[in-house]
Amino acid sequence: MDAIPKTMGQQFGRRSWAEPWKIKMVEPLRRVTAAERVSALRAADYNTFLLKSDDVYIDLLTDSGTGAMSDRQWAGMMLGDEAYAGSRNFYRLEAAVRTHYGYAHILPTHQGRGAEHLLSRCAITPGQLVPGNMYFTTTRLHQELAGGVFVDVIVEDAHDTTSLHPFKGNVDLGRLEALIAKEGANRIAYVSLAGTVNMAGGQPVSMENVKALRVLCDRHGVRIFLDATRMAENAYFIQEREPGYADVPIAAIVREFCSCTDGAWMSGKKDNLVNIGGWLAVNDWTLYEELRNLIVVYEGLHTYGGMAGRDMEAMAIGIEECLQDDYIRSRVGQVHYLGELLTDWDVPIVQPVGGHAVFLDARAFYPHIPQHEFPAQTLAAELYLDSGIRAMERGVVSAGRNPETGDHNFPRLELTRLTIPRRVYTQAHMDVVAESVKTIFDRRAETRGLRMTYEPRYLRFFQARFERL
C-alpha cells in the first residue's frame, strides 16, 4: 500500500519548500466564537471593511500595509531623520527607487492613492481617455475626478476565470491601436498599465507585451505610466513563464520592465513591505516640476511627501528585500498553495492563481444569486460567519456606478479576494482558510444574497452597508 501523503510537498508530488525567514516575534490571535461572529457581522452590516480587527481571526482583507517588516527594517526605523526638509532617509529612498526601478525623478507620498491623485491632476486634460489593462477602484476614481474617462483594453482572456492564459494582464494591442485611430492620439492622456492586474485576479503582464506596447505608444506619441505596486510579483511570473527569463534575477526583470514605461506610482504597502507610504516616479523633468509643485500643496515637502523619515528608511530597505528571488518565490508559493488546495476540491477560483491573492469566482460559487444581490459580498460575509476569516469583495460593489447614468456597473468578474499579507501567516493558516472555504462551498445552495441599505458617494465598497434578503 502506498504511503498516504503527509507533507506539503508530498501532497502535490514535489519537494516541500519553506519560508526564507524565521519568526522572531509573534502577535497572538483571538479565536472568535460563532455567536461573536454573528453579532460583529450584523453590527458591520455585512461589510467586512466595517469589522473591528479585534473581531477577526485570520485577516485576508488586504495585503496593503498588513505585511510584516524584517529586523533590518525595524532597525532602520531607529535611523529616522525627521528633519522637515532634506531628510537623509529621502535620499536613501530616492537612490533605492533609481537603482531598482530606474526612474529619474522620485517623489514620496503618504500612500499610493496620493500618487494616483497627483499623476491624474497633472497628466490628464478633461475629456481625455485613459486606456488601461482593467480598472482599479481608486485609480479610476482619480482619473475620473480629473476629467478623464477610463477605457479597458485588457486581453479578452482576462474576463474568463477559467482561461489558463499565462499573461492575462496583457494589453490588447489591437484594441488600443483601434482606439487611438478612432479618437486620435491627442485624446489619449496616457496608457495606465498595472503589473500585476488586481481586478483580474492578480494576473501578470509579459515582457513581450510591454515592449510591444512601448513601440506602439512611441509611434503615436503616447506615454505609459505603470502601477508598480506588485511589480516584483509580476516579474516572478515573467521569470517562471516567459521564454528567456528563467535564469534572469527578479531585480533585473523589474528594471527591464520599468524601462519600457515613462513613470510609475507605487503603494509601498505592498511590494515594498512597509505599513504606510508610497512614491511617484517619472523621467520627464517638466512633468516632475509640475508634480513637485503640487505635492507641497496636497502631501508635504518634496523630500518627505507625507511620510516620516523612519518610514522612508524602512521602505528603502523593503525595496531591496522584495526583489530577492528567495523571498518572492516563497511569497507567491504560499498564495499558490492555497489555490492548489481549493482547485483540488473543485472550488471555483480565478485561474491561473495570481501573485497576491486567491480570487473566488462568486458567480460560479452562487449561480442562484443574481449580480444585483451582490454574490461576492455575500461570500465574504459567509466566510467570516463560518470561521472569523476576513476577505473582501471585488465585484459589482467595487465597480461602483456609471458617473453619467447612475446605474450599477456590472463587471464580468464577480470575485471575492482572499488576500495574503506578506510574511505574516503560515501554511497552517492557509489550511484553515481552505477548509473554511470548502465548508461554505458545500452549503452554497442554502445561501441568500444581500440588499444595499447605505451607499457613500465614492468608493462605496469601503463603507457601504447591507442586509440579508
Which residues are catalytic, by number? Answer: 84, 136-137, 227, 270, 394, 461
* Cβ pair 248, 266 in contact under 8 A: no
CA angle 151, 154, 159 (to 5 degrees): 110
CA-based torsion, 141, 142, 148, 153: positive or negative: negative
Q: Which residues of 164-180 are buried (b: 16+ CB within 10 A; e: fewer)?
A: eebbbbbbbeebbeebb
Q: Which residue has the cell 480587527?
A: 53
Q: Where are the alpha helices (DSSP H) in 345-461?
A: 362-365, 375-387, 396-399, 427-442
In contact, 242 and 206? CB cutoff 8 Å: yes
Residues 269 and 164: their CA atoms lie apart, in Å, by 29
Sheet with strand 224-227: strands edge to edge: 105-109, 278-282, 263-267, 224-227, 191-194, 129-132, 149-152
Cα-to-chain-centroid distance, residue 344: 25
C-alpha cell at 307: 511620510
Task: Record the cell numbers describing residue 122, joined without a space.
Answer: 497633472
Q: Is the dihedral of CA 316, 292, 309, 109 positive or negative?
A: negative
CA atoms within 13 A on the CB side of 60: 33
Alpha carbon 35 to its chain's center: 32
Between helix 88-101 and helix 250-258 the angle, nearest 10°, is 90
Vertex 332, ends 272 and 282: CA angle to 5°?
35
Q: Name the β-bridge partners of 58.
A: 389
